[in-house]
Structure 1
Amino acid sequence: MYRFRDQHRRVVYVGKAKNLRSRLNSYFANPRGLMPRTRAMVHTAASVEWTVVGSELEALQLEYTWIKEFNPRFNVMFRDDKSYPYLAVTLGEKYPRVQVMRGDRRKDTRYFGPFYPAKAIRETVDTLLRVFPVRTCSAGVFKRAERSGRPCLLGYIDKCSAPCVGRISPEDHRELANQFCDFMSGQANRFIRELEQKMSAAVAGLDYESAARIRDDIAALKRVFERNTVVLSEDTDADVFALAEDELEASIQVFHVRGGRIRGQRGWMVEKVEDMSTADLVEHLLQQVYGEGNSSNNRIPREVLVPEMPSNEEQMREWLRRLRGAAVDIRVPQRGDKATLLGTVAQNAADSLRLHKSRRAGDITTRSAALQELQEALELPMPLMRIECFDISHVQGTNVVASMVVVEDGLPRKSDYRRFSISGDAARDDTSSMYDVISRRFRNYLAERNPLDSLPGDDDGGSGPVEQEPKMPARQKFAYPPNLVVVDGGQPQVRAAARALEDLGIDDVFVIGLAKRLEEVWLPEGDFPVILPRASEGLFLLQRIRDEAHRFALAYHRQKRGKSMTVSVLDEVPGLGPAKRRALLKHFGSVRKLKAASVEELQEVPGVGPALAGTIRRQLAEGSGEGTDPAPAPAVNMMTGEILDS
């Protein structure tokens, strides 16, 4: 175990390593080759201390203890560190009380939950007090009512049995509290059946007022009972974790399943102040959630379902076993209801991350700060009013396409999006493709700015067509140049883009590249990247633009690939010309439906007779592994978070 301290002796990072010499040597390598977080930590640290422990389990426990004690700024920190709210019944008191509790458990108190948010518990209690009017007031309010001989408001509206003024004996009130606990333990059907029998008896005795009151009580119990959906078997107690992450942030979601029902849900965002794998993130997540400061042993369920096994898997199991006092099963569900529930939790995490990004992108103050930060970091002389980002997409050099997305004042300008088809020598590699795309885009810019000038390649636009965003009106926007061009890639792609601009004589457009692996910003003339802070709004803006360009290029690539697969499978049918291919596709709509058609259905297409229909049927049957429509993944606008039509 080791701790880095700054010049004021504050702990800034806590870590563990099997080989301390090797780990420390990695921190003191060439600073230019370090991750941004690591370089910042090394320059902040003034000294390092270490402690030798006997096993990895001891290291895990000590790491958690130190993180809780010192709150080091360079370790992963969760923004929401509140403990979970529970519904508690204080059975150890003379008159048991129902209340919401957080923190460590108390003796002789029965807990239900966890629930999240706390508002859900209060709504549940308010509904149940109609049927089980248990005391909910504090000790001070209870004693004041005893002295005055007058109950509180809940006593007057029959939501408290008012033991403070002797309306109910201690024994009867305790029995009421036990019934409340039985209902919360899952025995709701028993109470509902008993009330239904009482209602039937009241109706038979013509006591309709009592029957109506019991009917309302039954409705209240059913509302509470149906609020938590049964998702697993009744003996299942589990916490289901999922996360959605990018290079800078992660969205965490957890569903609490108790007795087969979802008792609560919680979500929060994590800033990734250090570069770590999903397994490392899961390990830190479990440490934060189940550590002694947030949870006692009874709050840890029998099962913990995670998207990926944590680092130090066996040590984490042993650590949780010691905290709970019994075995804890940590696993990744592969099939069945638990895998389905994990998928639901993962979808919630992805939606939460998209919503977080869209809110951040929609904040005008944040956008302005991001643009200003980028301008200062890149030392640009003018404001970044318009940014264009380019990305190349292909599969092993086939169906090579490119995309251009546009951001004005920090917001996407979808009417100006363009996509490029690349062929010939330009499709040889990514740098050639990038040179070709930048050349074609700015040739169009020069042609629209100076329509009388003739430039090479004006007639055909380069190696392939330039297409607009689908469903967008045609607009002449190439004459409006960007202040900054962003390419998806590192130094080779940036230099290819800069060379294309230089060959066209354009010197007033700046070019940078964003390398995905380490989120480094590359300049054409630099041998080393510009490192923006990981929490930088400017880096966040560049990342959103790059992801949107990748999304747009990938959608076009899938479309082209699907068309080429369709054409290839029909090209193999002898005697089937272009006109009849178009007629077949128009009639059936897709190759998948065409493959499922019988000979008689094929003959319904004009120009297709029995012989040709039989040939088509045999050919498609032989090539059944080809030509199916690719299953498109849902397209999501990475700038705004909205789901787009594919």
Structure 2
Amino acid sequence: MADPSTYRPAPGAIPISPGVYKFRDAHGRVIYVGKAKSLRPRLSSYFQDLAGLHPRTATMVTTAASVEWTVVATEVEALQLEYSWIKEFDPRFNVKYRDDKSYPELAVTLNEEYPRVQVMRGAHKKGVRYFGPYGHAWAIRETVDLLLRVFPVRTCSNGVFKRARQVGRPCLLGYIGKCAAPCVGKVTADEHRALAEDFCDFMAGRTGNYLRRLEAQMQEAAEELEYEKAARLRDDIGALKRAMEKNAIVLADATDADLLAVAEDELEAAVQIFHVRGGRVRGQRGWVTDKVEDVDTAGLVEHALQQLYGAAAADERNESVPREVLVPALPDPVGPIRDWLSELRGSQVDLRIPQRGDKKDLMATVQRNAQQALALHKTKRASDLTTRSRALQEIADALELDSVPLRIECFDISHLQGEDVVASMVVFEDGLARKSEYRRFQIKGFAGQDDVRSMHEVIGRRFRRYLQEREQTGEWAVPEADDEGEGPRTEDGRPRRFAYPPQLLVVDGGQPQVAAAKRALDELGIDDVALCGLAKRLEEVWLPGEDDPVVLPRSSEGLYLLQRVRDEAHRFAITYQRAKRSKRLTAGELDSVPGLGETRRRALLKHFGSLKKLRAATVDELCAVPGIGRRTAETVAAVLSSRTPAAPAVNTATGEIIEDGADEVVTAVPRTAPSQETP
């Protein structure tokens, strides 16, 4: 680990001009590229006390061995140079996009004497017109097949084209009218290029004028009694309209725009882009990126725009940059990126956040697609056996365990300003959640915001039950599962809840929570269970008795698995805590209703589900509940309507505002099917 002070530039040596800088490691490899409107304050910020830096930034500056910079004239030039260097050096600490070359596009090779329509992937080439990208190559071929009867541009490879010229006989498409057959001289090179340009104009969204021209030609042919020509033009118009119908109309004003949305968590982010041309969605693409540098949503947007439009700098006709680019957050400062896009397009580009109307609604759709893409990526990552095995091995290596932790248990404490203190225990076996093994704890011995004391109590209770069940069976080894795989059972056939000990015990928290859990294990004589804590803010792994944490790489599958375990414990705990709070508030409201006993209170809660819905119920609706007469219903309605809902409370663990009973189920969350609510 290098000391940043050993390569810190001398005071006054860094210019105050705009520029781009590179950090290199001891082997001379570029590990980070950045830009700045003023190099001196930006680079000086990297050489402050390491304790004041973000953990990812601190890791970068301690990995680096030197820094260098290049001065440019404007911030736009800095943006362009930064993109070029990131592409050239692929620095490990910069945001890394994946799958950016996997989406096919429709390409027209206008740089050839006889332009060709084909499916292309990868970097854009000079002189080639691109449309898309599309989700699947077959979607491009379907569109092209419909348009070839109207624009019979060649689609054959150069080898097929040369052979046809040599033998003087066109291919099958030339015979059936889906190619103008320039290979055998049916049309000249200029006529074929005109067909290709009409094809490009139609794909670019300029469809109205062309359709009106064909309709006028059809009417003229019909008036001159050329019915065969009129029928052919009618069929051409129908084919064009069917091709247009494949793209849904989303904006009524024939807008050309790209909409970009981002869904992110601590380690990764998913970017989704919708390409709208002529008011229709012409293409969609997306990336998943590792957040290997300290970057917010605005920074992710800036990187995505560079990735999306950087290749357009080499194109002659930069129609890939639309008139409008809609984003969820504007880069800071926004001027250089807006000027860069306008320079690429050759005219002004409106970069903004949609505030209302159809564009805002469409942006919400793009956002949902980004969230689903991130969830799908995580699901695939979690379900892959090889990846899970690697994650478990990385955890074992990092924590110096004798074997991989096949069973991991994680504990989390949740409360609301010291009230309704609860805890959760989630279980992962072989890297997958075992929801039937989840457990919940009520902490009633004391109240307050003492998470350390709560953690000590919960760990003690869990392992005391484990020792009790093991002693009852008379076995001091791990019990085997029964024939149905349900685990060990008591004499009356009920499953033993805490019969299996984990190989790894994870607590949500840092050094204090780990010390409390270790103390609870020591008090019970448990010395064969590994223990660690995962602190959420910095994602550090704490071990008992250690002054410094274990820092796993941000791209580590082991860290990703620990995060999933911790987040699942947090979700399960806060869901239980919200249910308990809802019950308590509801019971408090109904306790003061004269003549309403426990049985009828439960009937009301079961029927309406939440206090909010119960308040909104009419007297007739209350009477529909079994056991509730009209007089009781009127009393309940009068008592509830006379009280205003309490002010929103704030969950101290998450900072969330919790509305009083809004959309919360009063009954407890089942152990075998916990709620999927995200805290």
Q: TM-score range by the shorter chain?
A: 0.7 to 0.9
Report the CA distance between 1:197 and its aligned residue.
11
Instruction: Tell me what 1:333 maps to.
Output: 354
Report the CA distance between 1:151 and its aligned residue.
0.1
The reply on whether 1:431 has 2:452 as its aligned counterpart is: yes
Instruction: Tell me what 1:470 maps to.
Output: none
Instruction: Please give the alpha-carbon distance, in whole angstroms, between the structure 2 residues aligned to 1:229 and 1:42.
Output: 49
The reply on whether 1:564 has 2:597 as its aligned counterpart is: no
For residues 87-133 of structure 1, give each alpha carbon's deviation from its aligned partner in whole angstroms, at most 9, with x where no partner exists.
45567877654344678888987654444445432331123224432
Instruction: Please give the alpha-carbon distance, in whole angstroms, between the structure 2 residues aligned to 1:315 and 1:519.
Output: 34
Matches within 5 A, 1:315-326: 315-326=336-347
Q: 1:608–1:250: structure 2 CA closer, same or farther, 3 Å change rule?
A: closer
Letter in 1 for 2:64: A
Name structure 1 gaps, 5 residues minimum. Answer: 454-472, 633-639
Letter in 1 for 2:278: G
The reply on whether 1:133 has 2:166 as its aligned counterpart is: no
Letter in 2 for 1:381: D
Instruction: Tell me what 1:457 maps to.
Output: none
The residue matched to 1:319 in structure 2 has which SS?
A: helix
Matches within 5 A, 1:68-79: 68-79=87-98
Instruction: Please give the alpha-carbon distance, in whole angstroms, between the structure 1 residues aligned to 2:626 and 2:520.
Output: 50
Contact 1:592/1:629, CA 8 A, preserved across alignment:
yes
Instruction: Please give the alpha-carbon distance, in whole angstroms, between the structure 2 residues aligned to 1:171 and 1:53.
Output: 44
Report the CA distance between 1:480 and its aligned residue.
1.0
Letter in 1 for 2:422: V
Instruction: Please give the alpha-carbon distance, in whole angstroms, between the structure 2 residues aligned to 1:76 and 1:92.
Output: 34
Report the CA distance between 1:68 and its aligned residue.
3.2
Letter in 2 for 1:629: A
The residue matched to 2:155 in structure 1 has which SS?
A: coil
For residues 446-494 of structure 1, give each alpha carbon's deviation from its aligned partner in whole angstroms, at most 9, with x where no partner exists.
11112399xxxxxxxxxxxxxxxxxxx9631412111111111111111
Matches within 5 A, 1:210-225: 220-225=239-244
The reply on whether 1:514 has 2:534 as its aligned counterpart is: yes
Q: 1:180–1:382: structure 2 CA closer, same or farther, 3 Å change rule?
A: closer
Contact 1:32/1:528, CA 8 A, preserved across alignment:
no
Q: 369-378 or 588-597: which moved more?
A: 588-597
Instruction: Tell me what 1:374 maps to.
Output: 395
Matches within 5 A, 1:267-416: 267-292=286-311, 296=315, 297-416=318-437
Instruction: Please give the alpha-carbon distance, in whole angstroms, between the structure 2 residues aligned to 1:183 and 1:54.
Output: 40
Letter in 2 for 1:438: I
Instruction: Please give the alpha-carbon distance, in whole angstroms, between the structure 1 residues aligned to 2:177 and 2:290.
Output: 48
Instruction: Tell me what 1:464 maps to.
Output: none
Instruction: Tell me what 1:248 maps to.
Output: 267
Report the CA distance between 1:363 and its aligned residue.
1.9
Matches within 5 A, 1:121-200: 121-138=140-157, 141-167=160-186, 177=196, 180-181=199-200, 183-186=202-205
The residue matched to 2:545 in structure 1 has which SS?
A: coil
Report the CA distance between 1:253 and its aligned residue.
1.2
For residues 47-70 of structure 1, give each alpha carbon's deviation from its aligned partner in whole angstroms, at most 9, with x where no partner exists.
222344555444434433332343
Instruction: Please give the alpha-carbon distance, in whole angstroms, between the structure 1 residues aligned to 2:309 and 2:513.
Output: 46
Of 257, 260, 283 in structure 2, the residue corresponding to residue 238 of structure 1 is 257
Q: 538-547 or 292-301: which moved more?
A: 292-301
Instruction: Please give the alpha-carbon distance, in whole angstroms, between the structure 1 residues aligned to 2:495 and 2:173.
Output: 67
Letter in 2 for 1:479: A
Instruction: Please give the alpha-carbon distance, in whole angstroms, between the structure 1 residues aligned to 2:373 and 2:577.
Output: 28
Letter in 2 for 1:600: D
The reply on whether 1:6 has 2:25 as its aligned counterpart is: yes
Instruction: Please give the alpha-carbon distance, in whole angstroms, between the structure 1 residues aligned to 2:306 and 2:592.
Output: 59
Report the CA distance between 1:264 and its aligned residue.
0.7
The reply on whether 1:629 has 2:666 as its aligned counterpart is: no
For residues 424-460 of structure 1, give each alpha carbon's deviation from its aligned partner in whole angstroms, at most 9, with x where no partner exists.
415542112211211111111111112399xxxxxxx
Instruction: Please give the alpha-carbon distance, in whole angstroms, between the structure 2 residues aligned to 1:357 and 1:577.
Output: 48
Report the CA distance between 1:33 and its aligned residue.
7.5
Instruction: Please give the alpha-carbon distance, in whole angstroms, between the structure 1 residues aligned to 2:175 and 2:130.
Output: 28
Instruction: Please give the alpha-carbon distance, in whole angstroms, between the structure 2 residues aligned to 1:178 and 1:551.
Output: 56
The residue matched to 1:228 in structure 2 has which SS?
A: coil
Contact 1:431/1:492, CA 8 A, preserved across alignment:
yes
Contact 1:117/1:266, CA 8 A, preserved across alignment:
no
Q: 238-247 or 330-339: which moved more?
A: 330-339
Of 273, 284, 287 in structure 2, the residue corresponding to residue 265 of structure 1 is 284
The residue matched to 1:476 in structure 2 has which SS?
A: coil
Letter in 2 for 1:387: I
Q: TM-score, length-normalised on structure 2? A: 0.80
Instruction: Please give the alpha-carbon distance, in whole angstroms, between the structure 1 residues aligned to 2:624 and 2:394.
Output: 64
Letter in 1 for 2:258: D
The residue matched to 1:74 in structure 2 has which SS?
A: coil
For residues 544-588 of structure 1, give each alpha carbon's deviation from its aligned partner in whole angstroms, at most 9, with x where no partner exists.
111211222222223223322322332343443323322333444
Instruction: Please give the alpha-carbon distance, in whole angstroms, between the structure 1 residues aligned to 2:473 and 2:203.
Output: 81
Q: 608-617 or 400-409: which moved more?
A: 608-617
Instruction: Please give the alpha-carbon distance, in whole angstroms, between the structure 1 residues aligned to 2:236 and 2:676.
Output: 43
For residues 573-627 of structure 1, give each alpha carbon's deviation from its aligned partner in whole angstroms, at most 9, with x where no partner exists.
3443323322333444544443333333433445544443333223322335366
Q: 500-509 or 426-435: which moved more?
A: 426-435
Instruction: Please give the alpha-carbon distance, in whole angstroms, between the structure 2 residues aligned to 1:579 and 1:116.
Output: 57
Letter in 2 for 1:228: N
Instruction: Tell me what 2:513 maps to.
Output: 493
Q: 1:294–1:243: structure 2 CA closer, same or farther, 3 Å change rule?
A: farther
Q: TM-score, length-normalised on structure 1? A: 0.84
Of 546, 552, 573 in structure 1, the residue corresponding to residue 572 of structure 2 is 552
Instruction: Please give the alpha-carbon distance, in whole angstroms, between the structure 2 residues aligned to 1:641 and 1:402.
Output: 14
Number of aligned residue pairs: give it.
Answer: 620
Report the CA distance between 1:37 and its aligned residue.
4.0
Contact 1:490/1:513, CA 8 A, preserved across alignment:
yes
Of 639, 664, 676 in structure 2, the residue corresponding to residue 619 of structure 1 is 639
Letter in 2 for 1:555: T
Name structure 2 gaps, 5 residues minimum. Answer: 1-19, 475-492, 647-659, 666-672
**What fraction of aligned residue pairs are identical, expressed as a percent?**
63
Letter in 2 for 1:527: D
Instruction: Tell me what 2:548 maps to.
Output: 528
Instruction: Tell me what 1:421 maps to.
Output: 442
Of 569, 577, 591 in structure 1, the residue corresponding to residue 597 of structure 2 is 577
Contact 1:256/1:262, CA 8 A, preserved across alignment:
yes
Report the CA distance between 1:215 and its aligned residue.
9.0
Q: 575-584 or 13-22: which moved more?
A: 13-22
Instruction: Tell me what 2:4 maps to.
Output: none
Q: 1:95–1:645: structure 2 CA closer, same or farther, 3 Å change rule?
A: closer
Letter in 1 for 2:509: G
Letter in 2 for 1:347: R
Letter in 1 for 2:244: F
Q: 1:130–1:445: structure 2 CA closer, same or farther, 3 Å change rule?
A: same
The residue matched to 1:425 in structure 2 has which SS?
A: coil
